[in-house]
């Protein structure tokens, strides 16, 4: 064993309070020792005095660092040389080099109140540290891990005097440091918890000490001491600068990343799973050995305990130290999160992250708990894809008992749930946290009550049920190195009293007349295995949790795949990249695997429930039972093409024409919005005999050759405005918020468009078709200026052209006040193109026009679509309209949409990033700007906000040519509760960062 004893007294490990020097004295020292005529501004520190010096003409700012009295000159020289060494080994890292003083030395001594102190001037590294409790992106977390690896690699062969010293922050000395600091923690309960956690961590660490490499370490590579370069607002903060070498020391090499990980835990959303990507990146640069991996989390716990104790010591000596007081809040959070998992589970998570094999505990020899049952056992599927959890029959634990009872009524002798399965029944809607839904036990129900026998000999403890669970009894059997927990409805417990403890032998009756039994098993001597954990931690818990399935009936009835968080998503993404054209992009940098939907919610493969605020295609909600039933019934009868005569296609056509102004009475049915707009343009061309099209900028109309030709959104096609055919003419986007004309001047957009129409007529190329979204959707859900369409359409018609209303996104009641977008403008189109909401995700679109205009299409031949207007698609269209009417979804869009918009406007009062809230009903857009005067688009911020919202359980994406608007177009069944959840999540992101 390495000698871990401390040669000096334990108190020598604890540094005294920093010297009492103010800003005027610091400026004087800068002049006297370094010849700098500057101003000084104090920066916070636990142990030293730091001052930012500024005012050097034409020179960058520098840092004056006055060392703690306990720090020797040799140590300070070593710190300066170490920074230089790192800069040479890793030239792309920004490192503070030391500037010599007037005496030519790296360290300058001075006397204050009879005490010799040392000062240095260092380069000031510009940029932002990752300090505070705000959110850190996955990229930032990985970035700091990479940096820690580079620092550790660079120092692996760095040898110099002045670094081998008893030191408060050397984790090899943690027990002695805590012994010295603990008396300063006045809170007795907290002090005891620090001591208990540290002792447990040290007991795991001490046997590994001899195998852990020792080298020079930075010692404080934390979020406070890494700096991200100055960058445009919204850019992901990935650090490239290392500062503050004050804790430089020789110590265990693995302590470098342990310190880093601990510093990440207190940030918003910090946890074992969220910080481990930093370790993975560290490992890629500086490989971690097996013993180092096993030592890592105990070191994290020790670091956290020392941080808390040290803060109390500093505050005891200097209660006015606001820096230390503020840090103590974060340090307590670090400690709480460091110890929230059992040590074995945290270490298993480390090993899994590094893809290191580890042993899985298994069951000892046993007798079955219920030997009378050998067949007729039904496995309950409670996963996210379970057919039994249809029509929203999920997110309620009581469903588990209902499904078990149904299976028993259907003839099952017993049912059993799956071990480690993420149960959708245990997930929750409107939750910003990953659900604790992965079962670490199983539940069995019996058609006929059964006796439960002891699987092995041991000590049995019986606990009666609680008021919250009347009629239940809990039992714990400890034996064979296993703690077996049983809970359920027992007719009688085989014990002399309702509660107590006694010895049992294998095969003894533990309870009689059992109708339901929940079973968990864990290694004895470890923490109690919880009923549920998150999917991200399920695999790690198998370090102490045992699959008890075989115990029940003597065989493995359920073989649920071994939990492996994220593996399914990664594998699916790799397969997608190999087989799916990359031009078909996907949402999110790390997309979840979506497997289910219900109303305004989506569910991923791990049972995480997301609020879908984006899906304007799914107008009436995901998996609507009326639509499912209607499609199923029609598929069982007939599905063919519209050349046959059948009722559904006529019914749908009549329903559409009844919803439109008189005269729009001829319907074409197609498969998509692109096809609808394409056909509308062809019909208009056939009518006018002209190719000339007038289109509005910043609009998207489809991906076919014709619809792409009239699409002008550079978000969808960066070359849209420079690659339009000569027959496409564009007018300014009538954006009254940020366009050329704003506010009351927005009426001038119509005047400018009118001038274009007249000019084209005068040059002999009059407009044949004017196409426009009836409500400005692709730009973020904005109403057109009042009277805009009326003016432009009248001019186009006077020139012999037609107006095509693109209602693909906005139609079907989404605006709340109006069923069609063109109604807001008081204009009747010549041709209407609709899709998306029309099919609720089924491929369905329509073009509606007058009989006279429709007849002109015959000059192009006849029209036919194999699937457009099929019996099934017609039934889909008819059913969607029925649901919108019967469930009053248009009225819901008006009521809840108005409520949502009002709440979003309230957010804008507190968050200056929100420049405006656009739209009506469920056709809204929150526009983010960096400056409310210049309206500089916050595009990078918007994308990052969407990524963070997904982590908090909300599906959202940017829109507009500037990609700075949240596209808020949820299913029209959105509830007030869901609207509130979205606002809370957005508020949290804007508060804590993205």
At residue 719 the predicted structure's pLDDT band, cuts being 50, 70 and 90, is confident
To the nearest whole percent, how much of the chain has pLDDT over 90? 79
Q: Which of 38, 47, 46, 45 is nearest to 121 (CA)?
A: 38
Looking at residue 16, what is its pLDDT? Answer: 74
Q: Parallel, antiparallel, or unpaired: how do β-strands 115-123 and 39-43 relate?
A: unpaired
Confidence check: pLDDT of 740 > 90: yes
Find the range with the poorest average confidence among 28-42, 145-159, 304-318, 564-578. Answer: 564-578
Query: What digits encode the pLDDT tens for the residues 745-804?
Result: 999 999 999 999 999 999 999 999 999 998 988 878 899 999 999 999 999 999 999 999
At residue 428 the predicted structure's pLDDT band, cuts being 50, 70 and 90, is very high
Looking at residue 114, what is its pLDDT? Answer: 84
What DSSP assignment string belongs to 405-421? HHHHHTT-SEEEPPTT-
Confidence check: pLDDT of 494 > 60: no
Full-model pTM: 0.92
Mean pLDDT of 847-875: 93
Confidence check: pLDDT of 469 > 70: no
Q: Which of 109, 98, 96, 97 is nearest to 33 (CA)?
A: 109
Residues in the chain: 994
CB 915 within 8 A of CB 932: yes
Query: What digits encode the pLDDT tens for the residues 330-364?
Result: 999 999 999 999 999 999 999 999 999 998 888 99
What is the distance between the alpha carbons of residues 546 and 563, in angstroms, rounded to a whole number?
A: 13
Sheet holding 693-696, edge to edge: 666-670, 845-849, 831-834, 802-806, 769-773, 693-696, 728-731
Choice between 316 and 92, residue whose per-residue pLDDT is larger? 92
C-alpha distances in Å from residue 640, one per residue of 74, 629, 654, 869, 870: 88, 19, 20, 9, 6
Looking at residue 3, what is its pLDDT? Answer: 36
Q: What is the radius of gyration, based on Cα positions, of the chain?
A: 35
Query: What digits encode the pLDDT tens for the residues 675-701?
Result: 999 999 999 999 999 999 999 999 999
**H runs (alpha helix) in 673-737:** 673-688, 705-710
Max mean pLDDT range (58-72, 235-249, 553-567, 754-768): 754-768
Find the range with the poorest average confidence among 125-134, 270-279, 485-494, 911-920. Answer: 485-494
Choice between 235 and 199, residue whose per-residue pLDDT is larger? 199
Confidence check: pLDDT of 9 > 60: no
Write out the two tokens for 276. 């481990």
Q: Give the chain's end-to-end CA distance (angstroms, integer).
A: 46
- Residue 981's SS3 state is helix
190's enclosing H/E stretch is helix 188-205
């Amino acid at each position: 064993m390495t000698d871990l004893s401390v040669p000096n007294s334990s108190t020598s490990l604890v540094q005294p309070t920093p010297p009492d020097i103010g800003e005027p004295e610091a400026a004087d020292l800068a002049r006297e020792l370094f010849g700098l005529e500057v101003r000084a501004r104090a920066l916070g520190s636990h142990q030293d005095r730091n001052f930012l010096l500024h005012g050097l003409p034409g020179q960058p700012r520098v840092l004056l660092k006055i060392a703690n009295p306990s720090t020797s000159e040799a140590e300070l020289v070593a710190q300066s040389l170490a920074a230089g060494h790192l800069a040479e080994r890793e030239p792309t890292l920004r490192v503070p080099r030391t500037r010599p003083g007037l005496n030519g030395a790296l360290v300058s001594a001075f006397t204050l109140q009879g005490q010799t102190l040392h000062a240095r001037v260092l380069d000031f590294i510009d940029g932002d540290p990752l300090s505070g409790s705000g959110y850190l992106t996955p990229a930032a977390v990985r970035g700091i891990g990479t940096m820690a690896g580079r620092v550790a690699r660079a120092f692996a062969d760095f040898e110099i005097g002045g670094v081998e010293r008893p030191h408060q922050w050397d984790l090899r000395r943690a027990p002695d440091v805590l012994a010295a600091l603990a008396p300063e923690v006045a809170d007795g309960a907290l002090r005891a918890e620090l001591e208990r956690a540290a002792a447990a961590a040290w007991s795991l660490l001490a046997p590994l000490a001899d195998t852990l490499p020792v080298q020079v370490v930075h010692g404080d590579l934390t979020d406070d001491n890494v700096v991200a370069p100055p960058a445009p607002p919204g850019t992901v903060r990935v650090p490239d600068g290392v500062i503050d070498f004050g804790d430089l020391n020789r110590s265990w090499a693995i302590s470098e990343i342990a310190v880093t990980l601990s510093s990440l835990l207190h940030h918003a959303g910090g946890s074992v799973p969220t910080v481990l990507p930093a370790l993975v990146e560290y490992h890629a640069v500086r490989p971690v050995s097996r013993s180092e991996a096993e030592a890592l989390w105990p070191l994290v716990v020790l670091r956290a305990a020392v941080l808390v104790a040290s803060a109390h010591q500093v505050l005891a000596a200097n209660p006015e130290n606001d820096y230390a007081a503020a840090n103590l809040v974060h340090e307590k959070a670090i400690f709480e999160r460091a110890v929230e998992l059992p040590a074995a589970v945290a270490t298993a998570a480390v090993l899994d992250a590094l893809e290191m094999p580890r042993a899985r505990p298994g069951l000892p020899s046993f007798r079955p708990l219920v030997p009378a049952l050998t067949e007729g056992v039904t496995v309950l599927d409670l996963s996210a894809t379970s057919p039994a959890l249809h029509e929203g029959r999920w997110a309620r634990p009581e469903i588990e008992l209902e499904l078990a009872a149904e299976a028993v009524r259907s003839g099952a002798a017993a049912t059993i749930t799956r071990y480690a399965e993420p149960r959708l029944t245990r997930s929750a809607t409107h939750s910003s946290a990953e659900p604790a839904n992965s079962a670490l036990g199983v539940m069995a129900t019996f058609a006929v009550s059964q006796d439960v026998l002891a699987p092995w000999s041991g000590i049995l403890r019986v606990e009666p049920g609680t008021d919250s669970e009347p009629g239940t009894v809990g039992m714990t059997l400890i034996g064979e190195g296993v703690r077996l927990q049983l809970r359920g409805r027992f007719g009688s417990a085989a014990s002399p009293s309702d509660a107590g403890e006694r010895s049992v032998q294998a095969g003894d009756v533990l309870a009689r007349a059992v109708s339901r039994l929940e079973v968990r098993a864990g290694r004895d001597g470890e923490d109690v295995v919880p009923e549920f954990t998150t999917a991200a931690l399920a695999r790690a818990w198998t370090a102490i949790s045992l699959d008890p399935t075989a115990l029940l009936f003597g065989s493995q009835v359920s073989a649920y795949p071994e939990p492996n968080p994220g593996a399914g998503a990664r594998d699916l993404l790799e397969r997608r990249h190999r087989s799916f054209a990359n031009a078909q992009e996907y949402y999110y940098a790390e997309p979840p695997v979506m497997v289910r939907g219900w109303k305004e919610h989506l569910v991923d493969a791990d049972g995480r429930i997301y609020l879908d605020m984006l899906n304007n295609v799914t107008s009436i909600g995901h998996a609507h039972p009326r639509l499912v039933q209607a499609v199923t019934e029609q598929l069982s009868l007939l599905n063919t093409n519209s050349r046959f005569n059948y009722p559904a296609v006529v019914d749908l056509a009549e329903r559409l024409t009844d919803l439109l102004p008189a005269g729009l009475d001829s319907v074409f049915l197609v498969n998509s919005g692109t096809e609808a707009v394409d056909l509308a343009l062809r019909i208009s061309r056939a009518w006018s005999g002209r190719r000339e099209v007038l289109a509005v900028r910043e609009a998207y109309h489809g991906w076919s050759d014709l619809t792409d030709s009239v699409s002008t959104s550079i978000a969808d096609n960066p070359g849209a405005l420079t690659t339009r055919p000569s027959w496409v003419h564009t007018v300014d986007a009538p954006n009254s918020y940020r366009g050329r004309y704003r506010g009351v001047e927005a009426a001038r957009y119509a005047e400018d468009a009118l001038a274009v129409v007249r000019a084209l007529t005068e040059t002999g190329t009059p407009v044949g078709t004017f196409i426009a979204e009836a409500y400005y959707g692709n730009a973020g859900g904005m109403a057109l200026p009042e009277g805009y369409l009326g003016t432009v359409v009248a001019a186009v018609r006077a020139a012999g052209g037609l107006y095509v209303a693109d209602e693909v996104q906005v139609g079907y009641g989404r605006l709340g006040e109006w069923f069609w977008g063109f109604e807001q403008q008081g204009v009747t189109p010549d041709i209407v193109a609709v899709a998306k909401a029309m099919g609720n995700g089924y491929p369905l679109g329509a073009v509606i026009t007058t009989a006279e205009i429709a007849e002109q299409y015959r000059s192009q031949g006849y029209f036919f679509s194999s699937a457009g207007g099929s019996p099934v698609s017609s039934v889909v269209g008819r059913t969607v309209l029925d649901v919108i009417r019967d469930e009053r979804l248009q009225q819901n869009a008006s009521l809840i949409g108005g409520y949502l918009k009002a709440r979003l406007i309230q957010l804008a009062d507190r968050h200056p990033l929100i420049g405006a809230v656009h739209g009506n009903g469920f056709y809204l857009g929150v526009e983010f700007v960096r400056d409310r005067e210049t309206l500089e688009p916050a595009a990078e911020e918007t994308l990052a906000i969407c990524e963070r919202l997904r982590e908090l359980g909300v599906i959202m994406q940017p829109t507009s040519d500037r990609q700075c608007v949240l596209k808020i177009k949820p299913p029209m069944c959105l509830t007030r509760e869901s609207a509130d959840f979205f606002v809370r999540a957005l508020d949290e992101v804007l508060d804590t960062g993205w």
